[in-house]
Amino acid sequence: MMKRFTATMIATILALTSQVLAATDNHTRFPALQTETGKLTIYSTTDLAAMKPLIDDFQRTAPGISIDYIEYLTNELHALASEACRKDEPLGDLLLSSSVDQLLKLANDGCAASHTSPETQRVADWANWRDEVFGFTYEPAVFVYNTRKVPPAEVPRTHVELADLLRERLDYYRGRVGTYDIRLSGVGYLLAFNDARQTNTVFGRLLESMARASAVARCCTGEILEEVASGRLYIGYNMLGSYAYDVARRHPDLRVVVPRDYTLVLSRGALIPKSAERSDLGAQFLDYLLSERGQSIARSNAFYFSETGSLPPDVDGPQNLKESGIAQPIRIGPGLLAVQDWAQRQRFIEDWSRSLIELNSPEWTRE
């Protein structure tokens, strides 16, 4: 009886194990739902939690395809992809990155395969570069704050209001504001560069105020959001709206603000590497992401914001971001090549570092 029970338990455990995610560090495997007919490999900078609903739904449409999902930070993925391209070696069948400027540089360097389909024709002109880099999300850069730490009368709703708040309440907010470390974060650099493009005066004023307030710099969105939710930090600046809203749904003290003066909008990019071993599967998943079905799942379960719909519930902002006129999409086009120009990039990062770090108060938190 015990032997039969033990054998049954082992068989059950093995069966369950084959159905759940097999994850090691940054590598997660999604087994095929039926007999495997192909394996798709995705290299991505997008958190697994955001992509899992889309992967699960895609596999329902393609039950014979297994998926290896491998996560990296933006700069790490760009370095790996650039090296693989230089050596003409495969690195996955699809690359997904929030640093679309890095994908654009890869495409410009001849590292991307072109793809056209009925689904790619749905993509807005500003989110399609030569049928090689496609934007598949619509994500505003937002402010976040902790309601237990920021009084209602002090909630900033424009970039100028944030700068003024940090000047007027310097002692209270010292060391309590978080943003990206653009030396480490590709998406942080992209957003900061485009902030400066919007208005140098406001960007410089905000940077100075954040320096005076000993702002905390982090590599990643998740770290800042969790610290704001816990109350260690009070305000987070330039957070990706999709991640911010997801954390706010789980932490009632966290609130999301869409800035009213202008709102940068990022579209995560997708690129099929020219050396992909299964470019057909990469194209199939890309078409799913761009499809009406994929976009519906993204709005409801993954990235929450959309170009045409209303803001998600409880987000502080205009009812419709696009119609309000404040949305400033970061165009996936030649302008992004300037963002990746090495000399200009180094100069911008040095200026940012000098403003936010070297001239900062002794309490600067180098993290």
pLDDT tens digits, residue range 22-77? Answer: 555 799 999 999 999 999 999 999 999 999 999 999 999 999 999 999 999 999 99
- Rounded CA-CA distance 110/62 in Å is 30
Q: Identify the pLDDT of residue 319.
A: 86
Q: Are residues 226 and 272 in the same domain?
A: no
Q: Are residues 145 and 132 in the same domain?
A: no
Query: Looking at the domain assignment, is residue 23 inside a domain?
Result: yes
Q: Are residues 162 and 273 in the same domain?
A: no
Domain hosting 20: range is: 2-137+267-302
Query: Looking at the domain assignment, is residue 309 inside a domain?
Result: no
Q: Identify the pLDDT of residue 365.
A: 39
Q: Identify the pLDDT of residue 293.
A: 97
Q: Are residues 116 and 91 in the same domain?
A: yes
3-state secondary structure of 42: strand
Task: Kindly state the tokens that stand for 142.
Answer: 């937002």
| Contact (Cβ atoms closer than 8 angstroms) between residue 186 and residue 44 | no
Q: Identify the pLDDT of residue 358.
A: 57
Query: Looking at the domain assignment, is residue 192 inside a domain?
Result: yes
- Rounded CA-CA distance 92/277 in Å is 7
Q: Identify the pLDDT of residue 130.
A: 95
List alpha helices for 62-117, DSSP H: 74-86, 100-108
* 270 strand-pairing partners: 96, 134
Q: Identify the pLDDT of residue 14.
A: 38
- Which run of H or E residues covers position 237? strand 235-240
Q: Are residues 236 and 281 in the same domain?
A: no
Q: Identify the pLDDT of residue 323.
A: 86
Query: Looking at the domain assignment, is residue 311 inside a domain?
Result: no
Q: Are residues 49 and 173 in the same domain?
A: no
Q: Identify the pLDDT of residue 198.
A: 85
Q: Identify the pLDDT of residue 71.
A: 96
| pLDDT under 50: residue ranges of the chain | 1-21, 359, 361-367
Total number of domains in the chain: 2
- Rounded CA-CA distance 149/145 in Å is 8
- Which run of H or E residues covers position 329? strand 327-329
The CATH number of the domain holding residue 345 is 3.40.190.10
Q: Are residues 25 and 126 in the same domain?
A: yes
SS3 string, 158-201, reads CHHHHHHHHHHCHHHHCCCEEEECCCCCHHHHHHHHHHHHHCHH
Cα-to-chain-centroid distance, residue 54: 15
Q: Are residues 149 and 206 in the same domain?
A: yes
Q: Identify the pLDDT of residue 360.
A: 53
Q: Are residues 235 and 91 in the same domain?
A: no
Query: Looking at the domain assignment, is residue 308 inside a domain?
Result: no
* 69 strand-pairing partners: 28, 42
Q: Are residues 222 and 330 in the same domain?
A: yes
Q: Are residues 113 and 131 in the same domain?
A: yes
Burial level of 347, CB count in 10 A (0-12/13-18/19+)?
exposed
| Contact (Cβ atoms closer than 8 angstroms) between residue 103 and residue 95 | yes
Query: Looking at the domain assignment, is residue 86 inside a domain?
Result: yes
Q: With the C-alpha atoms ordered 124, 243, 175, 165, is the resulting torsion angle positive or negative? A: positive
Q: Are residues 274 and 239 in the same domain?
A: no
Query: Looking at the domain assignment, is residue 339 inside a domain?
Result: yes
- Rounded CA-CA distance 199/129 in Å is 25
Query: Looking at the domain assignment, is residue 182 inside a domain?
Result: yes
